[in-house]
Structure 1
Amino acid sequence: MNAIFNVILVHGAWADGSSWNKIIPLLATKNMTVTAVQLPLTGFEADVAAVRRAIALALGDVVLVGHSYAGAVIGEAGNDDKVKRLVYVDAFAPDAGESAGSLFAQFQPAPLGAELRPDAEGFLSLSHKGVFELFAQDLDEAEKAVVYATQGPINGAALGGVLTKAAWHARPTFYLIGDQDHAIPRAEQEKMATRMDATIEHVDASHVSMLSKPEAVANFILKAAV
């Protein structure tokens, strides 16, 4: 495979582009051009459109990386010809006709599910317990507080966004599994990664492995790029 020097990072629910703030410098030191997309989290189509805009601005081929919910987003946006490789980090990996939500409904129950808090407009946030004990349990207390305070609520309908075509069928795909993930159980991640015939690695981390084990995540992305 030819080396790729453009990496586009896509955050998941209850996050923003700053969730990659430990990964970006590590990739930059390897001469990678990095973009961290800011998803609106207001709906699946709007999130896909945000990623497509970032791809359009890239000068050359792209490695597209998605965390959590963004696995669904990159599965749709990644059909762009510029996207040559896909990287999933603790992420949903729907096929055509599936959504993150439809996959989640089939999974074994995840502890984080009980800690979702909907508001009157259908946006979902995480409880204090959800962040501190289940979402980011391997961060220090100060980092947990930041994750909790800055979480990006997601419109529940976004989780129902259905893929029209799954980009992973036509591109080399890589999947990093967090072994201490309480949002998407490890066994379910393994099933999705195996279905995609992805290159699989494991990291002893929570759902936010890019924050708790940044070197491992950055190195995995670099393997996909080169």
Structure 2
Amino acid sequence: MMMNRRTFSTTLAAGMATSLLASSPRARAQTTPKLRNVVMVHGAYADGSCWSDVVGILQQAGFRSTVVQHPLTTLEAGVEATRRAIALQDGPTVLVGHSFAGMIVTEAGMDPKVSSLVYVAARAPDAGEDYTALAKTFAAPPASAGLVWSEGYGKLSEEAFLRDFAGGIPHTKARILYAVQGPISDKLFTGKTTQAAWRSKPSWY
């Protein structure tokens, strides 16, 4: 699932403002320990650098930001990489996922350190659901028509990436994001969640 990346940072900041209210001076006295950790997970056709603008905003606001570099091979591998990042946090953590990463944060979000979830134009599956089945309930995104496969891995063509996936940002930056695009495995979308953290933890979409 895609979103206009011109509003990507703004959308995330708005969603996380609510979930990070515990860090405001007024709420601080009532919140122990202080929530200051944010872990972010990228979606398909991207890597962790897509969060760089958001990381800067959060750091300036005093939050500890960690970006997961998951391998885009299987859902299970993405969840494991995210759990490793959560394990390194020193307290309550907001877990954020974009696009396909909604599957990952839904599963990994059950970790006791995760205090809340933020979904940015992301899948929010229930337990036992898979990305492909959910995708069939919506119209296919235009970029998917430009997916090129080779030896079990797929990447968006430059035309599809620049026009459809990163069409809402300056061309120069879009070309950089194309250059760091992560290839996806043909097994990435086949995994199923086993639990749904949003059912038991505060979540924003």
Instruction: Give the TM-score normalised by structure 2.
Output: 0.82
Query: What is the rounded CA distance, in whole Å, between the counterparts of 1:2 and 1:138 in structure 2?
Result: 33
Aligned to 1:61: 92
Query: What is the rounded CA distance, in whole Å, between the counterparts of 2:160 and 2:103 in structure 1?
Result: 22
Of 20, 24, 27 in structure 1, the residue corresponding to residue 58 of structure 2 is 27
Say if 2:43 and 2:99, in contact at 8 Å, map to a contact too. yes
Say if 2:144 and 2:156, in contact at 8 Å, map to a contact too. no
Aligned to 1:83: 114
Query: What is the rounded CA distance, in whole Å, between the counterparts of 2:54 and 2:22 in structure 1?
Result: 22
Larger radius of gyration: 2
Say if 1:93 and 1:100, in contact at 8 Å, map to a contact too. no
Runs of 4+ in 1 over 6 A off after TM superposition: none
Of 143, 163, 169 in structure 2, the residue corresponding to residue 139 of structure 1 is 169
Say if 1:8 and 1:54, in contact at 8 Å, map to a contact too. yes
Per-residue deviation at 1:90?
Answer: 1.3
Query: What is the rounded CA distance, in whole Å, between the counterparts of 1:168 and 1:156 in structure 2?
Result: 27
The CA RMSD over aligned residues, in Å, is 1.2
Q: In structure 1, what residue type is equivalent to 2:173?
A: E
Q: How does 1:141-180 map to 2 (within 5 A)?
A: 141-175=171-205
Query: What is the rounded CA distance, in whole Å, between the counterparts of 1:119 and 1:166 in structure 2?
Result: 33
Residue segments in structure 2 that go unaligned for 5+ positions in a row: 1-20, 24-34
- Is 1:14 the counterpart of 2:56? The answer is no
Is 106-115 or 153-162 further displaced after alignment? Answer: 106-115
Say if 1:15 and 1:151, in contact at 8 Å, map to a contact too. yes
Say if 1:75 and 1:94, in contact at 8 Å, map to a contact too. yes
Indicate the percent of aligned positions where both proteins have the same amino acid: 44
Q: Secondary structure at the match of 2:112?
A: coil
- The one-character-per-residue Cα deviations of 1:111-151 (angstroms, maximum 9, x if unpaired) are 1221111112x211101121111101011111111111110
Aligned to 1:207: none
Per-residue deviation at 1:163?
Answer: 0.4
Q: How does 1:120-131 map to 2 (within 5 A)?
A: 120=151, 122-131=152-161
Query: What is the rounded CA distance, in whole Å, between the counterparts of 1:129 and 1:152 in structure 2?
Result: 16
Q: How many residue pairs were aligned? A: 174
Residue segments in structure 1 that go unaligned for 5+ positions in a row: 176-226
Q: In structure 2, what residue type is equivalent to 1:162?
A: K
